[in-house]
Amino acid sequence: MNRIMSDKKAIGVFLLPGTAVYLFVVMIPVVWSVVYSLFEGAPGIRFQFRGLGGYLQLFSDRQFLSSLVITLKYCVTVSAFQMILGLSLAFLFTYGITRFRTLARTITFLPVVLPIVAVGQLFSKIYDIAPTYGLVNSLLELFGLEEYICAWIGLPQTALPALCVQDVWMTMGFYAIILYAGLVDVPANLVEAGRIDGAHGLTLARYITLPLMRPVIGTALIYSLSSTLKVFSSVLALTAGGPAKSTYTLSLYMYDTAFNFNKYGYGSVIGVFIMAECVVIVAVVNRIVNRKEQA
């Protein structure tokens, strides 16, 4: 048995083909990204070593700072709604309805599987104002709320909120399902004990259910923050960063820097920064969740 299971040739046969692809597509590029970030220009065209210069440049780069602020605004808003709506829906599906629970969850999850580009195109029509009113504006007209009619994704003030609405619509079902699973796992006898002690409604949630759900909320929050920090496709599909760069997130800036301005080195700096941002946030949230658990 041991001889067969540690056959060197067999190990090679099972591992080499896939591992080769993985190294080529994932591991080597990750290392290269870090190496690129220490250089200036593009490979082949004046590619010069400049050490950490690129990282220092970030702090005086106005576009970078403004993109960072936009990304953080987007991240905080969307994550907050994902958590609040996700939790509300989880509670609603558990305690609010007695029948069609599975159907309700299945429908709420549906937008999660839709292609982001299709959702972006759909919402750009929902928000449209010319040549014809989109869904939102024509409904506002129907209800006599003409003063609110505007170019939702054509104005810098409304474009970011409009983007957030789209992405919350698309992802809330995902968080509802994760948190629902966590809610169902809360031991029924503890909830019952709380009821006997006189807790109900919000008090029950505040002192019994939510504290017991801390690990799953932590997991959901980490996933939510790290995916909103990286946001790219949904912005590109809805607003492409506009108008007046009001939705120009870090990923879009990275993309333009590398592929439209041919600054691969600086683009990689931004890429590494995005990755580092995610790692830090995951570590911080993990820390908070675990510490409170011990206390």
* Residues between 35 and 64 with contacts to other proteins, criterion CB under 8 A: 36, 42-43
Bridge partners of 48, per DSSP, are 40
Smaller CB distance to other proteins: residue 289 or 295? 289
Binders in 1-20 for other proteins, by CB under 8 A: 1-2, 4-8, 10-11, 13-15, 17-19
Residue among 21 and 69 whose Cβ is closer to other proteins:
21
Whichever of 247 and 251 has its CB closer to other proteins, that residue is: 251
Cα(82)–Cα(206) distance, integer angstroms: 19
Name the residue nearer to other proteins (CB basis): 42 or 212.
Answer: 42
Smallest distance, other proteins to C-beta of residue 137, A: 8
Which string of DSSP letters, residue by residue, matches the chain?
-HHHHT-HHHHHHHHHHHHHHHIIIIIHHHHHHHHHTTEEEETTEEEEE-TTHHHHHHHH-HHHHHHHHHHHHHHHHHHHHHHHHHHHHHHIIIII-SSSHHHHHHHHHGGGGS-HHHHHHHHHHHS--SSS--HHHHHHHHTT-GGG---TTTSHHHHHHHHHHHHHHHHHHHHHHHHHHHHHHS-HHHHHHHHHTT--HHHHIIIIIHHHTHHHHHHHHHHHHHHHHT--HHHHHHTTT-STTTT--HHHHHHIIIIIS--HHHHHHHHHHHHHHHHHHHHHHHHHHHHHHH-
CB-nearer residue toward other proteins: 246 or 253: 253
- Please report how close the Cβ of residue 66 comes to other proteins at its closest, in angstroms: 18
Residue number with CB closer to other proteins (246 or 268): 268
Q: Find the binding residues for other proteins in span 212-251 (CB under 8 A).
A: 219, 223, 226, 230, 232-233, 236-237, 251
C-alpha dihedral, 58 to 59 to 65 to 71, nearest 10°: 70
Stretch that binds other proteins, among 21-29, 56-64, 69-77, 183-191 (CB under 8 A): 21-29
| Residue list 155-184, contact with other proteins (CB under 8 A) | 169, 173-174, 177-178, 181
**Site string (254-293) toward other proteins, x via CB under 8 A:** xx--xx----x--xx-xxx-xx--x---x-----------
Nearer to other proteins, 155 or 282 (CB): 282
Closest CA to 237 of 227, 247, 225: 247
Minimum CB separation of residue 46 from other proteins in Å reads 15
Smallest distance from the beta carbon of 206 to other proteins, in angstroms?
Answer: 19
CB of 50 to other proteins, least distance (A): 16
Residues 72-131 touching other proteins, rule: CB under 8 A, are 89, 92-93, 95-98, 104-118, 121-123, 125-126, 131
